[in-house]
Amino acid sequence: MIRFTYQHLLELVDGDDEFIVRLVEEGLIESRDELLSVDVDAVLLARTLWRNLEVDWPGIEIIVRLASQLNSARRRVQELEAALATGERSKT
């Protein structure tokens, strides 16, 4: 998560105030004081799904969550592969 000012987030979503309100309502953005905690990839994915593919909000929520889980799984596999490679090198 990256902390953004509202103005920076507004620039990220091409000035779409209503979209930001919806992202906050749906829990994709956390609002604290004047700063917003934003997963930029999730916001851009949600924007693409909403505007270009006309996916409804329940679908967006599922897709964004699955994309996040997939990215976490990829990172974990990379960590395991690195640990395995390190372990194999220490044996030789």
Spell out the domains of the chain, with CATH numbers in brackets. Answer: 2-91 (1.10.1660.10)
pTM for the model stands at 0.77
Query: Averaged over 61-66, what is the pLDDT?
Result: 94
Residue found under tokens 């779409």? 16
Which parts of the chain are beta strand (E)?
2-5, 29-32, 35-38
pLDDT of residue 92: 59
- Using pLDDT thresholds of 50, 70 and 90, give the confidence band for residue 34: confident
Looking at residue 29, its pLDDT comes to 87
Give me the percent of the chain exceeding a pLDDT of 90. 58
d(CA 75, CA 81): 10
What value does the mean pLDDT of the chain take?
89
The encoded tokens of residue 32 equal: 């604290």
**Contact partners, residue 85, CB within 8 Å, separation at least 6:** none
